[in-house]
Amino acid sequence: MNGAIKVVFGLLVIIAGLYIYLSGWFNGFFAHQFMNALKLVIGNIPGLIILIGLVMLLLGISDARN
């Protein structure tokens, strides 16, 4: 993947994870149900989404420098 695409993808994934966290705190129906369903399968999904986004962001920045 191109470095710029990785940066954009990383930022979008981080925003999605943050939306799930923040919407859950403010009683957002979708985020609350999404977190309940996924926590049955895997533990802390929004945290994993944010970490994946950070890795993609850092890989994109590294590729963009080259």
pLDDT band at residue 41 using 50, 70 and 90 as cut-offs: low
Global pTM value = 0.50
Neighbours of 54 (CB within 10 A): 15
Question: CA–CA separation, 55 vs 39, rounded Å?
Answer: 22
pLDDT at 10 over 70: yes
Are 39 and 28 in contact by the 8 Å Cβ rule? The answer is no
pLDDT at 57 over 80: yes
- Per-residue pLDDT, 30: 67
pLDDT at 35 over 80: no
- Minimal CA–CA distance to 21: which of 34, 9, 11? 34
